[in-house]
Amino acid sequence: MPLFDLPLDQLRQYTPAVAEPADFDTFWRSTLDAATQSPVLLDVRPEPTDLRLVDSWDVTFAGFGGDPIRAWYNRPAGVDEALPVIVEYVGYGRGRGLPHERLIWPVAGYAHLLMDARGQSGQYGAGDTPDPHGEAPGGPSPVTRGIMTPEGYYYRRLITDAVRAVHAARALPGVDPHRVVAAGNSQGGGLSLAVAGLVGDLAAVLTTAPFLCHPQRALEITEVGVYGEIVNYLAVNRDAEPAVRRTLSYVDGVSFARRANAPVHFGIGLRDMVCPPSTGFAAYNHYGATVGGPPPERTMHVYPFNGHEHGDATQVRRQLRWLADVLGDGVAGRSDGPKLSGALISPA
């Protein structure tokens, strides 16, 4: 598959001006202030599993509008110390699934809160969280739901849920509230950048193939995947483009990235037609631009022959090693290497 976006040397310098509304900060401040009117944790109960090395809890917290949002809380079994927590956001069309589906972070010694995505279950994974606010004008899919106004847009609600998930994680037992990490791929990567721009004291951010970064450009160069759903909506609703572009300017990951101050780890596949590489690089190159003082630490891994899957397991290994360095040694069961010596299996 030929490369369809900018060459890598141009991507590394790509810092486009993005369409940022003048009331961007006011819009999000008022949205999040309204969300804080509800207590964050609604229910936390142990979840029986067949796992001996991981303990699980079924968590419900209050998201946008006080709506109950479901999540799984996992941590290494038998560990009582307060741990850094990874707050993870799922990709488009996914739900939180079952508690044993995502075990990398608790097995690595971290606490892990996996947030369900309201109204998205069924395409790639199951979820338990409805979206009761989907009446605003727009299309049928999550990315077009309420897209005619910023106030009614689906991602206003989902981003608010994502911020509230950080507050919920900090309120959970066994969490070090000073070491919270926002993480995700694709839609989850876009949510992690949004949270980084809206929560000023994260310990780190992990984002790969982030969605909703510079969507104005994405609509011009791709009609694959989720952006294709917006393209299809505009193909039918031919007079909606100005309103749609205005709404998208309120959820642009580049604008959130400019306000972020936590260390960040990116991963991007140069053949990604779902979330084009130039859109992710725009967020990376703008990251921390409005932060006073020294710029936050930024790390980028590029995968020239990969698409939306980016570095996959290789990227996860790089995330684990980078995060251990950023957070230090306070991770349960962290080891600098094997303690056994000699052959583990003797020849027959």
pLDDT digits 0-9 by tens, 26-69: 999 999 999 988 789 999 999 999 999 999 999 999 999 999 99
Residues 244-256, mean pLDDT to the nearest whole number:
98
Q: pLDDT value at position 330?
A: 61
pLDDT (0 to 100) of residue 343: 42
Residues 6 or more apart whose Cβ sits within 8 Å of residue 337: none
The pLDDT of residue 135 is 80
Instruction: Tell me what percent of the residues of the chain surpass a pLDDT of 70.
Output: 93
pLDDT given at position 4:
82
* Beta strand spans in the chain (E): 41-46, 54-62, 68-76, 83-89, 111-115, 175-185, 204-208, 264-269, 298-303
Contact present, 246 and 146 (Cβ < 8 Å): no
| Strand order across the beta sheet in which 298-303 lies | 41-46, 54-62, 68-76, 111-115, 83-89, 175-185, 204-208, 264-269, 298-303
The question of whether 38 is a catalytic residue gets the answer: no
Catalytic residue among 192, 272, 286, 310: 272
| pLDDT tens profile 290-318 | 988 888 999 999 999 999 999 999 999 99
Q: How many CB atoms lie within 10 A of CB 266?
A: 25
The CA distance from 309 to 303, in Å, is: 10
pLDDT reported for residue 293: 81
Angle subtended at Cα 213 by Cα 68 and Cα 223, rounded to the nearest 5 degrees: 100
From its phi and psi, is residue 12 left (phi > 0), alpha (psi between -120 and 50) or beta? Answer: alpha
Among 56, 121, 141, 186, the one annotated catalytic: 186
Question: Average model confidence (pLDDT) for the chain?
Answer: 92
pLDDT at site 336: 53
pLDDT bracket for residue 85 (50, 70, 90): very high
What confidence tier does 170 reach under pLDDT thresholds 50, 70, 90?
Answer: very high
Pairing of strands 68-76, 111-115: antiparallel
Q: Residue 186 catalytic?
A: yes
Q: What burial letters (b/e) apply to 329-346, b meaning 16+ CB within 10 Å?
A: eebbeeeeeeeeeeeeee
DSSP state of 298: E
Give the pairing type, strands 204-208 and 175-185. parallel
Based on the residue annotation, tell me whether 100 is a catalytic residue of this protein: no
What is the pTM (predicted TM-score) of this model? 0.94
Q: What pLDDT is stored for residue 252 in this prediction?
A: 98
* 8 Å CB contact between 221 and 5: yes
Structure tokens at 100: 């044993």
Q: What is the pLDDT of residues 122-165, one digit of tens each?
A: 666 788 899 998 788 888 899 999 999 999 999 999 999 999 99
Tokens 């994260």 correspond to 202
Q: Pick the range with the lowest mean pLDDT from 103-107, 211-215, 333-337.
A: 333-337
Radius of gyration, CA atoms only, the chain: 20
pLDDT more than 90, % of the chain = 84
pLDDT of residue 273: 96
- Count of helix runs (H) and strand runs (E) in the chain: 11, 9
Question: And the tokens for 342?
Answer: 């000699």
| pLDDT, tens digit, 9 for 90 and up, residues 36-48 | 887 899 999 999 9
Rounded distance between C-alpha atoms, residue 144 and residue 260, angstroms:
26
